[in-house]
Structure 1
């Protein structure tokens, strides 16, 4: 259940809080490389899509679906690049995650461990007890 305090302006593209009950899955930071650890995309959007697909793959391997993701923490190497592509970010996000917007945080970092990575996203998912 999405939590939104009374009187607050609407959250756009994220939730302020998510209340969930079930089995908790912590997904380590996923970057924009494939299962073979190859970067097929060098651009921010391509890497973002792949990182989200990687998250969904881990969630599905545990028996869940994208809508079970309750939190995403994004680490990006360029705030300017992220902001310059807002429309594409939204469309690409919805392509992978649908219209499911969990609690989210974005942190701008100087670099990521993999030199070619532009984004790393970690997730928490709460899967139903019967999944």
Structure 2
């Protein structure tokens, strides 16, 4: 599959760590990944560390993408929900390292949303994504 075509209009602010728009190549299969938190197999969130929760949530998103036959570069859109925007802002350097370790220099179209709470008790981060995977050969 060809890579996404990136669209960052010069009339919009320059993105850093994300892109304004990605156009998927024709013929791909769309995968919608449900919101993932740092919950373990039993659904309970064990870590109270913001960065650790981000890493686990992103790992879970990537596990779904890989299970469907894709890879991190196939993710075209991502929404990150956090319960504490200040904690996110304070952890940007560590989050960038965690991102690069998992996603390299691939930056989907993204939104970051602060919410009052998440479904799993103790969850501070939830990530949902949309990926476009290569067409499966016949």
Query: How does the TM-score come out when normalised to structure 2?
Result: 0.88
Note the C-alpha offset of 1:94. 1.1
* Unaligned stretches of 5+ residues in structure 2: none
Are the aligned partners of 2:19 and 2:110 in contact in 1 as well (CA < 8 Å)?
yes
Partner of residue 28, structure 1: 34
State the alpha-carbon separation in 2 of the partners of residues 96 and 35 from structure 1.
21
Residue 125 (structure 1) aligned to one of 124, 128, 131:
131
Note the C-alpha offset of 1:38. 4.2
- State the aligned residue count: 131
Aligned-residue CA RMSD (Å): 1.5
Partner of residue 23, structure 2: 19
**Residue correspondence of structure 1 range 1-131 to structure 2 within 5 A:** 1-21=5-25, 22-130=28-136
Query: How does the TM-score come out when normalised to structure 1?
Result: 0.93
**Cα offsets for 1:53-98 (capped at 9, x unmatched):** 0000000000000000001101100011111111111111111111
* Stretches (4+) displaced over 6 A: none
Higher mean C-alpha displacement, 61-70 vs 34-43: 34-43
* Unaligned stretches of 5+ residues in structure 1: none
